[in-house]
Amino acid sequence: MNISMNPNSELNQSIVNVPNLVQVPDPLIKQAYQFQEAMMMYTCAIRELKTKLEVLNDELSVRNSRNPIELVKSRVKKPISIVEKLQRRGLPVSLESMMENLDDVAGIRVICSFLDDIYAVAEMLTRQDDVHIIAIKDYIRHPKANGYRSYHMIVEIPVFFSDQKKWMRVEVQIRTIAMDFWASLDHQLKYKKEVEANSEEISTELRECAEVIANTDERMLNIRKKIEAQEIAISK
Please report, as ranges, the residues that interact with ligand GTP according to CB under 6 A.
Answer: 104, 137, 144, 146, 148, 152, 173, 183, 186-187
Which is the catalytic residue, given 37, 171, 201, 211? 171
Neighbouring C-beta atoms of residue 144, cutoff 10 Å: 12
Give the separation between CA 199 and CA 194, rounded to whole angstroms. Answer: 9
Least Cβ distance, residue 48 to ligand GTP (angstroms)? 21
179 contacts which partner out of Mg ion, ligand GTP, none, CB within 5 to 8 A by kind? none
187 contacts which partner out of Mg ion, ligand GTP, none, CB within 5 to 8 A by kind? ligand GTP
137 contacts which partner out of ligand GTP, Mg ion, none, CB within 5 to 8 A by kind? ligand GTP
What's the farthest any 2 CA atoms get from each other in the chain? Answer: 82
Least Cβ distance, residue 29 to ligand GTP (angstroms)? 30
Interacting residue ranges for Mg ion, rule: CB under 5 A: 104
Give the separation between CA 186 and CA 191, rounded to whole angstroms. Answer: 8
Whether 70 is catalytic: no
74, 45 Cβ separation under 8 angstroms: no
Q: Which residue is nearest to Mg ion (CB)?
A: 104
- Which residue number, 104 or 180, has a Cβ lying nearer to Mg ion? 104
HEC sequence for 43-82: HHHHHHHHHHHHHHHHHHHHHHCCCCEEEEEEEECCHHHH
Q: Which residues are catalytic?
A: 171
